[in-house]
A and B are shown apart, each in its own frame.
Chain A
Amino acid sequence: RKEVEQDPGPFNVPEGATVAFNCTYSNSASQSFFWYRQDCRKEPKLLMSVYSSGNEDGRFTAQLNRASQYISLLIRDSKLSDSATYLCVVGVTGNQFYFGTGTSLTVIP
Chain B
Amino acid sequence: QLQLQESGSGLVKPSQTLSLTCAVSGGSISSGGYSWSWIRQPPGKGLEWIGYIYHSGSTYYNPSLKSRVTISVDRSKNQFSLKLSSVTAADTAVYYCARMVATPPRSRFDYWGQGTLVTVSS
Chain B associates with chain A: no
What is B's interface to A at a CB cutoff of 8 Å?
Answer: none
